[in-house]
Amino acid sequence: MKNIIKISTPLDIKKIINLKAGDFVNITGNIYAARDASHKRFFELIEKGKKLPIDLKGQIIFYAGPTPVKPGYLCGSVGPTTSYRMDPYTPSLLERGLKGMIGKGFRSKEVIDSMKKNKAVYFAAVGGAAALIARRVKKSEVIAYEDLGAEAVFRFYVEDFPAIVVIDSAGNNLYETEPPKYRK
C-alpha cells in the first residue's frame, strides 16, 4: 500500500508540483463544492468581467452537490459527479487561481493543457461512497447561488478527505497510463 500524503488547503505551488499521478492524499481544510449550474454562472460572471463569489486562489473545487442533511448530521451524502461536464468552464477558473479539482472521469485535452500551464491537479474521489465521504465533512455552508439547491456553491471544511491524484501538474494521467497495463 502506498503512503498517504496529507495536504491542506489552500494549496501552494510547492505542494502541487510534488504531487504525482497515483499519489493517495488526505485533504484537510476548506474545499468548495460546485456542479454544472454554478460553473455556468461563474463563467457568465467571467465573461462580463465581474467578480466571482469565491476567491479561487489556491482552492479546490469538488464536483458534487450534497443531498439534504438528515437530523444529527453535518452534511448530506456527497459523492463526485462526472467531471467532463465542467470542462468548458475549467480553463477560465484555472486562469483565476483554481489549483485543484475533485471528481470522477476523464478530462479534455484543453483542461489538461490548462492544468499544466497553471500548475493544478485533478483528484478522483470514489464514486458510490457518498455517505462515507460525507463523514469527512466537518462543516458545510452554502455561500452562493442558494436558489440552485444541491447545485449551489458550498464551502466544506473537511478532515482527511480521501482522494487520488489522477492527473498531476505535469499532465501525467492515470486514465492514459493505467488501462494498457490491464488489457493483456
Active-site amino acid positions: 39
In angstroms, the Cα distances linking 90 to 68, 75, 79, 101, 181 are 27, 26, 19, 9, 30
Q: Three-class SS of residue 99?
A: coil
| Helix spans in the chain (H) | 13-18, 36-47, 90-95, 109-118, 130-134, 174-177
Residue 45 near residue 27, CB atoms below 8 Å? no
Tally the residues of the chain. Answer: 184
> Helices (H), strands (E): how many in the chain?
6, 7
Distance between start and end Cα atoms, the chain: 23
CA–CA separation, 36 vs 60, rounded Å? 15
Q: Do the beta carbons of residue 32 and residue 182 sit within 8 Å?
A: no
| Owner of C-alpha cell 500500500 | 1
